[in-house]
Amino acid sequence: MRFVVATHGHCFDGLSSAVVFSRLMQQLGATGASFEYRTCGYGSGQARAEDKLFTAEENAILDYRFSPSEKLTWYFDHHRTAFGSEADREVFEARRSSGQFFFDAAYSSCTKLIADIGRERFGVDFSDLGELVKWADLVDSARFASPEDAVSRTSPIMQLVSVVEHYGDDAFFKELVPELLRRPLAEVAASKAVTNRYKPLGKKHERFVARVKQKSERLGRVVFVDLTESVLESVGKFVTYALFPDSVYSVVVGLLKNGPKISVGYNPWSGRPLDTDISAICARYGGGGHPVVGGISFPAAALDEARRVARSIATELNGEVAGAA
């Protein structure tokens, strides 16, 4: 038997979801199956989880927007923006009774959703993957004790998170998923396959922090950062919250190799309540995410549009009317 597993690429939750799903399938009888991992994204040039990708007997989407393809046999996601249209949602609901289609926006990570469903519905023991599930949920929900902890890369596991975010394509997942299935998370994080890849990222991360500090602009309770003057060599979540701990929201527009991207987030350490659904804002511009974090990708030629949208979102999050005097 052969599986195609389409999962969120360059994402620690996407990688961890692939690991837990693979273990679930193996425990359900697919012991001799082969797994092909396809990393998907929303930016220009990135693969989409769509019909042409599904070439196996079993095809799964994890931690990514739903596809109504008739070839799809498994689905797990937790994003509020999982369904591109009401018609897609209706297809999902019609297939839910198969017992292989799962969606729950209350979950803070797709990895934990798969692990809980696997344990509660199928009786699978994931105890040896407990640390992986815990860290995937911590990272995706940003439940760190402080923004400094979220930004710090002293932990080998947080270094692995950076490596996944930077190198996490098909080839990387093909290499790392089997390793995480057979070795403890801490052991994989300390392996040369990870540490050698992280070495150049440490300096890049420092330069990214310096750029954010230089380019940050306060708009009331919002930190707005325009990093589009040159292509980013590294990205890092939560940096604005460490630099501006009293900020409530951040809007960062950066230029990636595939085109501009806007990242919007709520600062959980601000002491102020969340009063806006960020996923709903991002969905208006073709993006998605969660109530506390979201993103929007643009074609390479739409740089000016990305800048305009980013500033408009920052203005909205600050409670102003875009374009007002």
| The amino acid at 121 | R
What span, in angstroms and rounded, lies between the C-alpha atoms of 97 and 207? 50
Is the pLDDT assigned to residue 323 strictly greater than 90? no
Q: Say what the pLDDT of residue 320 is.
A: 65
Average pLDDT score over residue span 241-270:
95
**Tens digit of each residue's pLDDT (9 = 90 or more) over 93-105:** 999 999 999 999 9
Nearest-CA neighbor of 249 among 296, 294, 287?
294
Residue carrying the six token digits 């380019």? 215
Contact partners, residue 297, CB within 8 Å, separation at least 6: 41, 42, 43, 44, 46, 258, 259, 260, 261, 286, 287
Q: Say what the pLDDT of residue 250 is.
A: 97
Length reported for the chain: 325
Q: Say what the pLDDT of residue 146 is.
A: 93
Domains of the chain (ranges, CATH numbers): 2-190 (3.90.1640), 210-317 (3.10.310.30)
Residue carrying the six token digits 């949920």? 137
**Tens digit of each residue's pLDDT (9 = 90 or more) over 201-238:** 988 888 999 999 999 999 999 999 999 999 988 787 78
**Tens digit of each residue's pLDDT (9 = 90 or more) over 10-35:** 999 999 999 999 999 999 999 899 99
Is the pLDDT assigned to residue 167 strictly greater than 70? yes
Q: Say what the pLDDT of residue 205 is.
A: 86
Report the percent of the chain where pLDDT is more than 90: 89
**Tens digit of each residue's pLDDT (9 = 90 or more) over 54-82:** 999 999 999 999 999 999 999 999 999 99
Average pLDDT score over residue span 282-299:
93
User: Helix H segments across the chain?
Assistant: 12-27, 86-95, 110-122, 130-141, 147-151, 156-167, 170-182, 185-189, 192-215, 239-243, 278-284, 303-317
